[in-house]
Amino acid sequence: MAAGFHRLLHLASFAALLALGAGCETAAYYSQAARGQMQIWHRRQPIPKLLAAPQTPGPLKERLRLVLRLREFAGNQLGLTPGKDYLSYADLERRFVVWNVHAAPEFSLEARSWWYPIVGRQKYRGYFAEAAARRVADKLRAAGNDVFVGGVAAYSTLGWFHDPVLNTFPLDDERELAELLFHELAHQQVFAAGDTDFNEAFATAVAQEGVRRWLAAENRSAARAEYNGELERHQQFLRLVTAARGELGALYTNAQCNAMPAGKLSSGQLARVEALRRQKEQAFATLRQNYEMLKRQWGGRDDYGGWLRGPLNNARLNTVEAYYRLVPAFEKMLAAGGGDLPRFYAEIRQLAKLPKTVRHQRLEEFMAPARDGR
């Protein structure tokens, strides 16, 4: 589950990539995106052809057959529409399909966003080459931002094209693979332009419910129990991250960071900045300490140790916020409708038509009772 913090990316379609904005930097960005998408198309091979080929490795054939079964389940049991997605396979000969750049000011949890044609503002910038992503990250860091670069296993063209299975998918983990496919297909049901948190939390909620139902349909009660245990630990860890973000948000607000002058600082202002940095690092240290206590409750399980051992900053914490904070609201809405997924999708489509502020207010109202009950 820890990999889920940064494994998914959702970019504009190739048609949107052709709608270039003004400026060399913008044109260069869309050019690399177009080249990356074309590389994927060039490497696609039909899955039936690969299954029939004697030179296709046995383990890959097994995983591709699983993909076909998951597609069928998504269409028949989850109300999703696979269409012609995931009927081909592309080996990109690298670990990730794209690298996502996230940024936020040093003393703010307000994520930096970028505008894209059709899909509106999103809280990340995706690059098909890691070196390009890191160059952009260096520039953002030099401008005073907290920055996080995460490798991403998959992205969706939102139904504009037939997305293939990639070698970057978690092919060796059945539950993660199922979760990823259901997540990507969920984006084709509902997508609110310019609302990363809404889109990702909705797709995450559908994906997790989909995996539960798939394991139940397969009569794999032990695997389902294990998955539910993973999700419960995931929620416990998310509460620690949410608490850390709350502490940091209060620190930045109380310090009136928005009023901090730009440019050269006086000695007094420098001292103030250094004090804030120490308090910020203490908040991250507290998060790590709280996780160590949580690990003891888990009997020593270390699901998120790798994530915490990496550099922590505002941008990295924001990636968790985008994918998971609103998930409980969607889960409650689904439960209120008796678990009827088509009805749930229809309700979420109506919600997506509302102004963003109203939409988020409705979701917060769904989450309020759960929070009060904790």
**Tokens encoding 71:** 């597609």
Domain spans, the chain: 1-325
Q: Supply the pLDDT for residue 268.
A: 76
Q: Supply the pLDDT for residue 24.
A: 54
Q: Supply the pLDDT for residue 310.
A: 86
Handedness of CA 9, 355, 103, 234 (dihedral sign): negative
Q: Supply the pLDDT for residue 155.
A: 84
Interhelix angle 221-254/174-186, rounded to 10 degrees, is 60
In the chain (374 residues long), the average pLDDT of successive 10-residue segments reads: 40 35 63 88 96 97 98 97 96 94 94 82 89 96 94 84 93 94 93 88 96 97 95 93 94 75 70 91 97 96 91 92 87 95 96 95 82 46
Task: Specify the amino acid at residue 27.
Answer: A
Asked if 105 and 280 touch (Cβ cutoff 8 Å), the reply is no
Of 308, 318, 86, residue with least CA distance to 188? 86
Whole-number Å distance between alpha carbons of 168 and 36 = 14
**Tokens encoding 115:** 């505008």
Identify the bridge partners of residue 104 per DSSP, sorted by sequence position: 146
